[in-house]
Amino acid sequence: MAIPKQIDANKLDDYLEVMTKAVFQASVSWAMIDNKWKNFQAAFDRFDAHKVAKYTDADVERLVNDQGIFRSRAKIVATIANAKMLVQLDKEFDGFAHYLHSKKSYKELAADLKKRFKYMGDMNVYYFLFRVKEEVPDFEKWILTIEGEHPRMREMVEAAGKPKAVEK
């Protein structure tokens, strides 16, 4: 499995794709999700945030029955809710990146992301922000605040080199 790379998030769809990957990887094998990712892209309209935000109950049923993806109703519903929130914040802040930069610290931004988005706990927030090249705390210090071992996260951070750290 390839280590997830950081990306330049140039459009709302980029943010939705990275966030959705974080959501679906939560508590399951990263490799399993990675192996099916092309199917996810097709199933979720290439993560067009405006389209996904308008998904209906029929779309949820379509996705729950799509054998090409990991079929978690809760995570599918969360992805749709997250798309709606991304679109809302994009409009409210005249760009989602402006929303991300509206908070004074990583700690404040992480708390707000966890409040507004579904399936976005400490690990997913760090993963999401790191992947879209937003400032995150030093990994070695931050990881001490999270229970358990997280070798894939460590590999991802190490593969990218040392990111610019901010205060928690």
List phi, psi (to 5°) of 136.
Answer: -135, 160
In a domain, 156, yes or no: no
In a domain, 140, yes or no: no
Q: Could you give the number of structural domains in the chain? A: 1
Alpha helices in the chain (DSSP H): 12-25, 30-35, 37-43, 49-53, 57-64, 73-92, 96-100, 106-116, 122-131, 139-142, 151-160
In a domain, 86, yes or no: yes
Copy the structure tokens of residue 37. 């990712």
In a domain, 164, yes or no: no
In a domain, 44, yes or no: yes
Residue with token string 């490799």: 31
State the residue range of the domain holding 58: 12-134
Residue with token string 């993560």: 47
CATH number of the domain encompassing residue 24: 1.10.340.30
Q: Can you give the pLDDT at residue 168?
A: 45
Angle, helix 151-160 to helix 122-131, in steps of 10 degrees: 20
Could you list the pLDDT tens digit for every one of the 168 residues in the chain? 566 788 899 999 999 999 999 999 888 888 889 999 999 999 999 999 999 999 999 999 999 999 999 999 999 999 999 999 999 999 999 999 999 999 999 999 999 999 999 999 998 999 899 999 999 988 788 777 777 766 666 677 777 775 555 544
In a domain, 146, yes or no: no
In a domain, 97, yes or no: yes
Instruction: Give the separation between CA 139 and CA 143, rounded to whole angstroms.
Output: 6
In a domain, 95, yes or no: yes
